[in-house]
Structure 1
Amino acid sequence: MLNLNKRLFLCLIALLVLIPGVASAHGMSLKLEAPGVFKVEYDGGGFSPRTEVVLYDEEGRELERGLVDEEGKYHFDENLAVYRAVADDGMGHRAEYKEGVEEKTIPKVPVVIAVFAVVAVIFVVFNKKKKV
């Protein structure tokens, strides 16, 4: 029985290492909400008022930087030629916007369900071996 628990525990750890998106608490996104307005938000909603947004042109030169407002928005002159923007909350979360690039994310619910399904299959297989 102890050997089975060790194997199950190791399998769970391996799954969490192989699928880091499930192990992480949340991510952060940076979206161009309107001309001259970026919106910074964590996956679960909310934001950090300490989040700094830095705007860059196409050559990588910094155009401006500043903190988000009380709504998690960063306002800038819409006439600026912003090619890339980076938001950093100072606590390890970082999000990037690039002109013309659509943000792609994997849906979290199917990934979480898949992890639980794999764990359940492993548990059933080990239990059947024990009973035989």
Structure 2
Amino acid sequence: MESGPWLSLEALASNEARRTKRAVVHLSADLTKNTADFVTVNTSSRTFFVTLGIDDGFLETDPAEWHDDSRYVAAAGKANGITVVNNFAERGVALMEAYNLTLTKDEDQRQYILQVVEAHRGRFPNASKGTVTRHLQ
């Protein structure tokens, strides 16, 4: 089996056809919707209010009047007080930085390793045994 930087570059080139899928947004259809179309009993938006113990009764009023509604003011205070932290990504970056320095001091070799890892993630999107063995057969 051939190895080296050319193999990883070929793998990256062959993955060019698999582009990220983008959502199609029909703006004209969304402009005719009101707040109730986006927040219903069965949506995760509603779950947000329930989880935080926020009275979502203000959603039934005209959005232009929300600033005068005490329920909205209380909800906005709670929502604005939440600090959004992506711990998973931050831990991943810290782990990669630490691991990156232990692998090699040579920048070219480090870039090659990152290309190989990216190519393998394309072939094996998760670390399950089924995914790996399916590609090896």
TM interval, short-chain normalised: under 0.3
> Scaled by the length of structure 2, what TM-score is found?
0.22
Structure number with the higher helix fraction is: 2
Structure number with the higher strand fraction is: 1
Larger Rg belongs to? 2
